[in-house]
């Protein structure tokens, strides 16, 4: 296990670094550390921001100083990952692959030497850990994609990608939470709204949870879209060990 380091990020943030490799054990450890910290209610501690290998801890220097806080954080560090993971929270994301929703599916298939059906099969065949959210609200950095699907980004990024688009960028896959420019290969789209400012919480999922893509037909996509618009759709979340 990599060693844990503490760094200041200015006058009111401590960065706790859990080694330098992206993996699920590190991610679980960071999530547990954040949980410990929330439960301990350390005076002066504010926002916690988890990333691949760090937890950023914001604090109020009028209440607690850097050195004293680092000592407290030390005490709250979780033990090395013992493999006894808690139940996974898995978000079911219906996706219509290919066609108008996933214009780059043919390219991804050609690049992988697979049929479009095989790409869909490999993409939906596993659960993806949400390592962190960032870059855009709700933009999820997902780990664990099938190596056969690794595809380079577009040479020229698109200026507008519709919200809900599911793409592949290099070794990563993910969902665009809102209309934005982007350079990922688009393989499908979900009718779900990963980001909805009028919903609480505005973002459907959080770091440490999982995403499972489920293929739907264009007809099912339209039906789901109508349900979501009408407010009758219930987002599916399952718990599995």
Partner 1 sequence: MGLFILNPGILTTVQDAGRFGHQAAGFSVSGPMDADALYTANILVNNPPDLACLEMTFLGVTAVFDRKTWFAVTGADMSPTLNGKPIPSYEAHEAKAGDKLVLGPAKNGKYTYLAVAGGIDVPVVMDSRSTNLKCGIGGFSGRKLAAGDDLPLYVTGRFLDNHYKKHLPSQSEIGPAPDGASRSIFLRVVPGPQAHFFTEQGLREFETEAYTLLPESDRMGARLSGKPVEAKAGVDIISDAIALGSVQIPASGTPIIMLADRQTTGGYAKIGTVVSSDIPKLAQSLPGTEVRFRFVTVEEANRLYQQHQKYLKKLARKTGFCPNKW
Interaction pattern, residues 127-146, with partner 1; x per rule: CB under 8 A = -----xxxxxxxx-x-----
Strand order of the β-sheet with 54-59 is: 4-8, 13-18, 54-59, 45-50
* Residue 127 dihedral angles phi and psi, to the nearest 5°: -95, 145
Under the binding rule (CB under 8 A), the answer on residue 177 touching partner 1 is yes
Under the binding rule (CB under 8 A), the answer on residue 20 touching partner 1 is yes
> Under a CB-based contact definition with an 8 Å cutoff, are residues 144 and 122 in contact?
no
Q: Which of 27, 29, 45, 52 binds partner 1 (CB under 8 A)?
A: 52
**Smallest separation, CB 81 to partner 1 (Å):** 18
Under the binding rule (CB under 8 A), the answer on residue 176 touching partner 1 is no
Under the binding rule (CB under 8 A), the answer on residue 73 touching partner 1 is no
Under the binding rule (CB under 8 A), the answer on residue 53 touching partner 1 is yes
**Residue spans of beta strands (DSSP E) within 60-190:** 88-97, 127-133, 140-143, 158-161, 165-169, 172-175, 180-182, 185-189
Residue (107 or 150) nearer to partner 1, CB:
150
Q: State the Cα–Cα distance between residues 226 and 235, nearest whole angstrom.
A: 14
Q: Which of 49, 76, 77, 92 binds partner 1 (CB under 8 A)?
A: 49
**Smallest separation, CB 106 to partner 1 (Å):** 30
Tell me how far CA of residue 149 lies from CA of 21, 172, 176, 184, in angstroms.
21, 9, 18, 13
Q: Which of 1, 43, 46, 240 binds partner 1 (CB under 8 A)?
A: 46
- b/e sequence 73-89, b meaning 16+ C-beta within 10 Å: beebebeebeeeeeeee
Alpha helical stretches, state H, 85-214: 105-112, 116-124
Q: Which of 1, 2, 7, 38 binds partner 1 (CB under 8 A)?
A: 7
> Under a CB-based contact definition with an 8 Å cutoff, are residues 191 and 204 in contact?
no
Question: What is the SS3 assignment for 145?
Answer: coil
Under the binding rule (CB under 8 A), the answer on residue 203 touching partner 1 is yes
Q: Which stretch binds partner 1 (CB under 8 A): 3-11, 86-94, 162-170, 211-219?
A: 3-11
Give the Cα-Cα-Cα angle 207, 233, 178 (nearest 5 degrees): 50
Under the binding rule (CB under 8 A), the answer on residue 17 touching partner 1 is yes
Q: Which of 4, 12, 44, 150 binds partner 1 (CB under 8 A)?
A: 12
Give the residues lining the site for partner 1 (CB under 8 A). 7-13, 15, 17, 20, 22, 46-54, 56, 58, 61-62, 65-67, 132-139, 141, 177-178, 195, 197, 201-203, 206-207
């Amino acid at each position: 296990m990599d060693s844990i380091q503490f760094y200041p990020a200015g006058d009111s943030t401590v960065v706790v670094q859990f080694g330098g490799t992206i993996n699920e054990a590190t991610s679980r450890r960071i999530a547990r550390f954040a949980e410990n910290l929330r439960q301990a209610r350390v005076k002066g501690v504010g926002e916690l921001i988890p990333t691949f290998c760090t937890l950023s801890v914001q604090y109020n220097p009028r209440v607690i100083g850097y050195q004293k806080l680092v000592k407290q954080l030390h005490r709250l560090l979780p033990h090395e990952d013992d493999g006894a993971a808690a139940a996974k929270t898995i978000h079911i994301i219906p996706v219509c692959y290919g066609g108008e929703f996933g214009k780059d599916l043919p390219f991804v298939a050609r690049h992988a030497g697979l049929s479009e059906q095989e790409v869909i099969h490999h993409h939906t065949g596993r659960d993806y850990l949400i390592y962190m959210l960032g870059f855009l609200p709700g933009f999820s950095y997902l780990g664990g994609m099938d190596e056969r699907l690794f595809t380079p980004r577009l040479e020229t990024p698109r200026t507008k990608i519709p919200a809900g688009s599911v793409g592949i960028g290099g070794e990563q896959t993910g969902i665009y939470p809102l209309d934005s420019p982007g350079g990922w290969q688009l393989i499908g789209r979900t009718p779900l709204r990963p980001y909805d400012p009028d919903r609480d919480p505005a973002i459907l999922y959080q770091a440490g949870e999982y995403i499972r893509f489920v293929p739907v037909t264009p007809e099912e996509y339209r039906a789901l879209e109508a349900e979501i618009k009408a407010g009758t759709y219930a987002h599916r979340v399952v718990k599995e060990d």
